[in-house]
Amino acid sequence: MKRTVLGALCAIAFAASASAAELRIAFVDVKAAIENTKEYQQGIAQLKAFQARQEKELEALQKRIEQAERELEKKRVVMSVEQVTAKEQEIASLRKQFDRKREDAQEELSRRKMQLDMRMMAKFRKVLERYAKQKRYDFVFGRPVLLYAAPQHEITAEITKLMDAER
């Protein structure tokens, strides 16, 4: 009986060590894999260009506001009460327009960034899954989860290349 139990335990231990030897594990730095792709970098460049255009428009509007304020201060003494009130309302309207435009630009920038991130994450997952199946990985972990991993198990560069190749 003892021999049977001991034999079964040895067989289980041997089977467990054999299957552990066949276990294929890799890790990937998701953020780096995505951010190093050409598509993501082009998307970020487009976002920066959009942001620069919006900032330029906001600066022009800010200059209009400042000009209107200077004009009001210079001419206030020779303007009628109605003219002063009209100019103050114009300035208030310009300020509201400025605030709205700034908020709209920020929301649009955030929306576009979220779309880029979602599109790239979907592409990343698709590429990673295909790669993991082709290379027969049992597990692929994300970098932040790991306390230590041998560098030869990192597949970040391969995933980035595959994402760049897939258009």
Rg over alpha carbons for the chain, rounded to the nearest Å, is 31
* CB neighbourhood size of 155 (10 A): 20
Query: Amino acid letter at 91?
Result: I
Superfamily of structural domain 22-165:
Skp domain (3.30.910.20)
| Domains of the chain, residue spans | 22-165
pLDDT in tens, 92-130: 999 999 999 999 999 999 999 999 999 999 999 999 999
pLDDT in tens, 44-100: 999 999 999 999 999 999 999 999 999 999 998 999 999 999 999 999 999 999 999
